[in-house]
Amino acid sequence: MSNDIAPDFPGRLKTALGDETPYSFGKRSGVDQSLISKYLSGKSEPGTRKLIAIAENLQVDLLWLLTGEGEMRRGPGMGLSVLPLPQERVVYEGLPEDVLRIPIYDLSAGEGLEPNGELVESRGDTVRRWLREEVGINPDDAFLARVMGDSMVPVLYPGDLALGILGDEYRGEGVYALWFEDEFYVKTVERRGSTKVRLLSKNPDYEPIFVHEGDKIRILGRVLRRFTGLY
C-alpha cells in the first residue's frame, strides 16, 4: 500500500485536517491519534483501511489523498449519488478504466428497513488490487452495506460497513445480506436439508426467523469483512 502513495502525503493530510488536532480527529474517526501523528511526520503511511477511513471522515477525495491528483473536495457529480435500489446487477458502461464503482446499500441488522441504493466511487488500481489479493474477490462482484441495527453484535455493529461478494446462491452457512418478505437484512443463514432455512442473529435478544415454503427471499451476497468507524 505505501508504495502507491504519492510523495507529500503528510502535506495533503495536514491540509485536509485544517485546524483539527490529531487527537480530535482520532477520537471521531477511530484512527489512533498516534498513527495520525506518524502520518503527519512522514514516519509511517496508512494501509488501505486507514486511508479509506481518513478520506471518508475528512470528506476528501480518496484519489487526491492518495496521489494529489484532482480536487481535494468532491465537487458536483463526484460525490455519492443516491439512486433507486437496483433489482438486478448493475452494469456501468462507458466508465474510464481507472474508475471503480461499488454498490453500497443501507440495510438493517435489526428490524429490517426498506433499502436505498448509493454508489461509492474509488479511482486507481489500489482498491481493485486489495480486493483481488487480500479479499480474494473480483472487484466487479463486490458490494458494501451499512449496518444500522444491533442484531448481529458482536459480528457486526451499528455503523459498520460490511463488504461482501454479490451472488444469489447459498454458499454454505455464513453471514448474508438478503431480502426477506420485501425487507433488507444481514443475518446468518442456516439451511438444514433442502427445505428448512433459518435466519439467525448473533444478538441473543433476537429470535430466529423461519423461512417457509412460499416466502419471498432473495440473497444479495455473502458478507466477508467489516469496516468500523467509517460512518
Query: What are the residue ranges spanned by the domains of the chain?
Result: 2-67, 81-86+93-227
Per-residue pLDDT at 25: 87
In CATH, the architecture of 2-67 is: Orthogonal Bundle (1.10)
pLDDT at residue 133, as a whole number: 84
**13, 54 in Cβ contact below 8 A?**
yes
The pLDDT value recorded for residue 149 is: 81
Q: At what angle do helices 33-41 and 9-17 cross, to 10 degrees?
A: 130
Within 10 angstroms of residue 36's Cβ, the number of other Cβ atoms is 24
Q: 109: closest CA among 166, 56, 178, 163?
A: 178
- What local confidence, expressed as pLDDT, does residue 162 receive? 86
pLDDT block averages, 10 residues each, the chain of length 231:
64 90 84 88 82 82 81 47 30 49 67 47 65 84 84 86 86 86 85 80 92 84 78 43
| pLDDT score, position 4 | 53
pLDDT at 111: 47
CA–CA distance, 131 with 155 (Å, rounded to integer): 21
Q: The pTM is what?
A: 0.54
Which positions are annotated as active-site residues?
151, 187
At 31, list the grid cell.
484512527
CA distances from 29 to 56, 120, 225 (A): 9, 19, 19
Q: What is the pLDDT of residue 202?
A: 92
Is there a shared CATH topology between the 2-67 domain and the 81-86+93-227 domain? Answer: no
The architecture that CATH gives domain 81-86+93-227 is Ribbon (2.10)
